[in-house]
Structure 1
Amino acid sequence: MSYFLQLLLNGIHNAALYALLAYGYVLIHGLTHRTDLSLGAIFAFSGQTFILAAAFGFSVLWMTMPAALGFGFIIAALYVTAAGYLVARLIYTPLDAGTRNTVLVATLGLTIFLMELSRIAADTRDYWLPPMLASPVFILGQAAYISLTQLQLVNIGIALAVVLLAELTMNRTLAGRIWRAVSDEPTASALCGIDPVSVRTNAILVAYGICALAGFLAALYYGNVSFNTGIIFGLKILFITAAGSFSRPLHAAFGAAIIGMVESIWGGYFSVLWRDAAIFSLLVLVLAIRTNVDEQERV
C-alpha cells in the first residue's frame, strides 16, 4: 500500500506539469479551433534553452549557481516570448483563412525546427543541472516512508497557483470575458469593437508562457530536458485535450492531471517502454467512447 501511495504522490508532480501544458493548449485552440503541435516543442525548447544558458553562465561567465539559473530563466523567457510573437504573426495570421490542416503542418514544421535548433545548440549532447531541493518531505511521517522532495512540492504549488490564477482571470475579469466572446463568435466580437487578432496574439503569448514555465519546472526537477521530446509531448497534450475539452481550459487541465497520475502508476508496475503506447491507447479509447456518446446525443 505504501508503494502505491508513493507512486500516487509522484504522479501529482507529473499531473501538475501536464495540467499546465493542457491549460496553455486550450487557451490557443479555444480561439483558433486549429490543431497546434508547437506547445510540446515550446515545453522542450524552453527547458533545454534554460539549461544551456544556465550552463553557459556558470561555466563561461563564472556566475554563481543561483545567478546562472536566473540568467538561464531570462534568456529562455526572451526566446519563448519572441517565438510566441512570431508564431502569432507569421503562422496564425496568414493561415487564418486556410483549412485546419495548414496550421497543423506549419506547427509541425516549427516543432522540427525547434528540436533541431536545440540539438545543434547543445552539439547533440545532454547537459545536466545539479540536484536542487532534493531533501525528502515525509507526508505521513518518517515511519511511513512516503515522501516528496522539496522541489516537487514547490513545483506542484507553482503549477496549482498558476492554474488557479488563470482560471480566476478567465472567470472574473474582462480579459476572460473577451476570450470567451472571441472563442464563441469572433465575427460578432469584431463588430462589437474587439480585435480578434490582438486577442489571439495575447492568448498565444500567455499559453507559450505557461508551457515555458512547465519546461522550467521540469528542467529543475529532472535536471535535463531532451531536445527530442517536443513531438511526443505535443501529441500527448493534443490527445489529452481532445479527450477532455477543447473549449474549457480547466477541464483539459483536469484530464491532463489524471493522465499524469496514470503514467506514474504505470511506470511503477509495468514496463516504461510500453508506457506511451498504453497512454495513447487509453486516450484513443476515451475519444472513441466520447465520439459515440456525442453522436447518440445528436440523434
Structure 2
Amino acid sequence: MSYFLQLLFNGVHNAALYALLAYGYVLIHGLTHRTDLSLGAIFAFSGQTFILVAAFGWSILWMTLPAALSFGLLIAAAYVGIGGYAIAKLIYAPLDTGTRNTILVATLGLSIFLMELSRIAADTRDYWLPPMLATPVQLLGTGIDISLTQLQVANIIIALAVIAIGETVMLRTSAGRIWRAVSDEPAATAMCGIDPDRVRTKAILTAYGVCALAGFLAALYYGNVSFNTGMIFGLKILFITAAGGFSRPLYAAFGAAIVGLVESLWGGYFSVLWRDAAVFSLLVFVLATRISPQETERI
C-alpha cells in the first residue's frame, strides 16, 4: 500500500506539469480552433535554454548558482516572449484565415526548428543541473514513509496557483469574458469593438508563458530537458487536451492531470518502455468513445 501511495503522490507532480501544458494549449486552441504542435517544443526549448544559459553563467561568467539560475530564467523568458510575439504575428496572423491544416504544418515546422536550434546550441550534448531542494517532505506523518522532495511540493503549489489565477481571470474579469466571446463568435465581437487579433496575440503570449513555466519547473526537477522531447510532448498534450475538452482550459488541465497519474502508476508496475504507447492507446480509446464528429473537426 505504501508503494502505491508513493507512486500516486509522485504522479501528482507529473499531473501538475501536464496540467500546466494543457491549460496553456487551450488558451490558444480555444480562440483559433487550430491544431498547434509548437507547445511541446516551447516547453522543451524553454527548459533547455534555461539550463544552457545557467550553465554558461556558472562555468564561464563565474556566477553563483542562484545568480546563474536567475540569469538562465531571465534569458529563457525573454526568448519565449519574443518568440511568442513573432509567432503570433508571422504565423497566426497571416494563416488564420486559411485552412485548418496550415497552422498545423507551420507549427510542426516551428517545432522541428526549435528542436534543431536547441540541439545545435547544446552541441548535441545533455547538460545537467545539480539536485536542488531534494530534502524529503513527509506527507502522511512520520509513521508512514511517504514523501516528496521540497522541489516537487513547490512545483505542485506553483502549478496549482497558476491554474487558480487563470481560472479567476477567466470567470471573474473582463479579460475572461472577452476570451470566451472571441472563442464563440470572433466576428460578432469585432463588430462590438473588440479586436480578435489583439486578443489572440495576448492569449498566445500567455499560453507560451505557461508552457515555458512548465519547462522551467521540469528542468529544475529533472535536471535536464532534452531537445528531442518537444515533439512527443506536443503530441501528448494535443491528445490529452482533445480528451479533456477544448471549451474550458480547466477541463483540459483536469484531463492532463489524470494522464500524469496514469503515467506514474504505469511506470511503477509495468515497463517504462511501453509507457507512452499505453498512454497514447488510452487517449485514442477515450477519443474514439467520447468525441463527436463535430469536435473531431476542431482538433
TM-score, normalised relative to structure 2:
0.97
After TM superposition, the structure 1 = structure 2 runs for residues 180-199 of structure 1, keeping only pairs within 5 Å, are 180-199=180-199
Corresponding letter in the other structure for 2:178? I
Question: Displacement, 1:145?
Answer: 1.0
After TM superposition, the structure 1 = structure 2 runs for residues 1-299 of structure 1, keeping only pairs within 5 Å, are 1-291=1-291
Decide whether aligned partners of structure 1 residues 171 and 292 sit closer, same or farther in structure 2, where only a CA change above 3 A counts: closer
How big is each residue's C-alpha offset from its partner over 1:127-157, in whole Å with a ceiling of 9 and x where there is no partner? 0000000000011123311100000000000
CA distance in 1 between counterparts of 2:140 and 2:264 reads 20
CA distance in 2 between counterparts of 1:224 and 1:291 reads 36
Decide whether aligned partners of structure 1 residues 84 and 293 sit closer, same or farther in structure 2, where only a CA change above 3 A counts: closer
How big is each residue's C-alpha offset from its partner over 1:59-82, in whole Å with a ceiling of 9 and x where there is no partner? 101100000000000000000001
How big is each residue's C-alpha offset from its partner over 1:16-54, in whole Å with a ceiling of 9 and x where there is no partner? 000000000000000000000000000000000000000
How big is each residue's C-alpha offset from its partner over 1:153-173, in whole Å with a ceiling of 9 and x where there is no partner? 000000000000000001000
CA distance in 2 between counterparts of 1:292 and 1:32 reads 19
Question: Displacement, 1:13?
Answer: 0.2
Stretches of structure 1 that go unaligned for 5 or more consecutive residues are: none
SS in 1 for 2:228: coil
Question: Displacement, 1:97?
Answer: 1.0
CA distance in 1 between counterparts of 2:187 and 2:140 reads 54
CA distance in 2 between counterparts of 1:198 and 1:108 reads 24
What count of residue pairs does the alignment treat as equivalent?
295
Corresponding letter in the other structure for 2:5? L
How big is each residue's C-alpha offset from its partner over 1:71-101, in whole Å with a ceiling of 9 and x where there is no partner? 0000000000011001100000010111000
SS in 2 for 1:148: strand
- Misfit runs of 4+, over 3 Å: 292-295
Question: Displacement, 1:294?
Answer: 8.1
CA distance in 1 between counterparts of 2:87 and 2:16 reads 26
Question: Displacement, 1:293?
Answer: 9.8
Stretches of structure 2 that go unaligned for 5 or more consecutive residues are: none
Over the aligned positions, Cα root-mean-square deviation in angstroms equals: 1.1
CA distance in 1 between counterparts of 2:178 and 2:217 reads 30
CA distance in 2 between counterparts of 1:152 and 1:293 reads 39
CA distance in 2 between counterparts of 1:247 and 1:57 reads 42
Percent identical residues: 80
Moved more, 142-151 or 234-243: 142-151
Question: Displacement, 1:292?
Answer: 6.0
TM-score, normalised relative to structure 1:
0.97
